[in-house]
Amino acid sequence: MFSLPALAVYTVFWIFPVFLGFYISFTNWNGIVNLADAQFTGFKNYVNLLYDSILRVSVLNNIKYGIITLIVVPVAAFAVAYLVENFTRKKSFWRTVTYLPAMIPTIVTVFLWKWIYNPQYGILNEILKAVGLGGLATGWITNTKTALYAVTFTSLWKMVPVYFVLFLAGLQSVSIDLIEAAVLDGAGRWQVIRNVTIPCMKRIITIVYVLVFIDIFRVFDLIYTMTKGGPGYYTTEMILTYSYKTVFTNSNAGYGMAIISALTLFVIICSFIQMKIQNRTAD
């Protein structure tokens, strides 16, 4: 009985919108008229996904962003957590400092990094000029060659502290007795990490990789507020930013929800497979 209010809230604000969005994806609803007046179009919206050139560009951008994120975030988060846990004296202070980027609101993060990337007075270009690399100075988020990597780095700066906390908890759960036994047996620091620390944290590592994979396809607010998918021909467009524009700018809610529904199904299947493989490896 005590769980009924929470279950009701969960149903109203999560389950119902998911099924409603799935239903809308089979219609030609424009998001303006009454949904009851929309026509049922079957799988037409899903078939159109295969021929959408802009969606194809968005998917490729998401893949590039995802590859970098999936490689960098877990490794960087683990490395920072290990350094803070083992090489600092004032651990509470450094934990707080490391986690600060995750606490900064996205809009503040965007303004901060837009200032850093600014081609006229941005600190990044000023640093490059100061060290004799002025030829590399550019408009980092207005240059089509660097925009995607610039917004990706900004996203990494904000994501790493989140997973730093998970790895920190994992490191603290590793038995000191196991580490001391390995050291007494003559194991060096890298051997302890490889043969003791990482095996003891396999569950945490699995969770981190699954969550990072999901986050890759959830990226929206930072990209949209920073570049709105530009510059040029959808240089930084992601799947969710494109679906948002499709629904609210192009007034094609049916097709926009088809994009989101297909993406949701893809992420669920891939996450399930990933967890199965990594759990089997851990066992």
Q: Mind spelling out the 3-state secondary structure of 15-37? A: HHHHHHHHHHCCECCCCCCCHHH
User: pLDDT band at 283, cuts 50/70/90?
Assistant: low
Q: Could you write out the three-class secondary structure of 214-264?
A: HHHHHCCHHHHHHCCCCCCCCCCCCHHHHHHHHHHCCCCHHHHHHHHHHHH
- Residue 242 forms part of a structural domain: yes
Q: How far apart are CA 241 and CA 83, in angstroms?
A: 36
Q: Which amino acid is at 57?
A: V
Please check whether residue 10 lies inside any domain of the structure.
no
Residue 8 counted as domain residue: no
The closest alpha carbon to 255, from 13, 57, 55, belongs to 55
Q: What is the mean pLDDT of residues 47-64?
A: 96
Domain that holds residue 189: 42-282
Q: What is the pLDDT of residue 281?
A: 63
Tokens linked to 254? 């049916």
Q: Is 203 within 8 Å of 185 (Cβ atoms)?
A: no
Task: Give the helix ranges, DSSP H, for 88-122.
Answer: 91-103, 106-117
Any domain includes 105: yes
Maximum C-alpha span of the chain:
75
Predicted local confidence at residue 8, as pLDDT: 77
User: How far is Cα 87 from Cα 85, in angstroms, rounded to an integer?
Assistant: 6
Indicate whether this model's pTM tops 0.85. Answer: yes
Rounded to an integer, the average pLDDT of 73-86 is 95
pLDDT digits (tens, 9 = 90+) for 241-259: 999 999 999 999 999 999 9
Does residue 134 lie within any of the structural domains?
yes
**Is 163 domain-assigned?**
yes
Check residue 282 and give its pLDDT: 58
Summarize pLDDT for 101-160 with one digit per residue, the tens. 999 999 999 999 999 999 988 999 999 999 999 899 999 999 999 999 999 999 999 999
Total structural domains within the chain: 1
Phi first, then psi: give them for residue 226, nearest 5 degrees: -90, -45
Which pLDDT score is estimated for 161?
96
Task: Give yes or no for a contact between 167 and 149, defined as CB atoms under 8 angstroms apart.
Answer: no
Q: Is residue 7 part of a domain?
A: no
pLDDT exceeds 90 at position 216: yes
Pairs from 225-228 (Cβ < 8 Å, separation ≥ 24): 225/106, 225/107, 225/110, 226/110, 226/113, 226/114, 226/141, 226/151, 226/154, 227/141, 227/147, 227/151
Residue 159's domain is classified under what CATH number? 1.10.3720.10
- Answer yes or no: is 33 within a domain: no
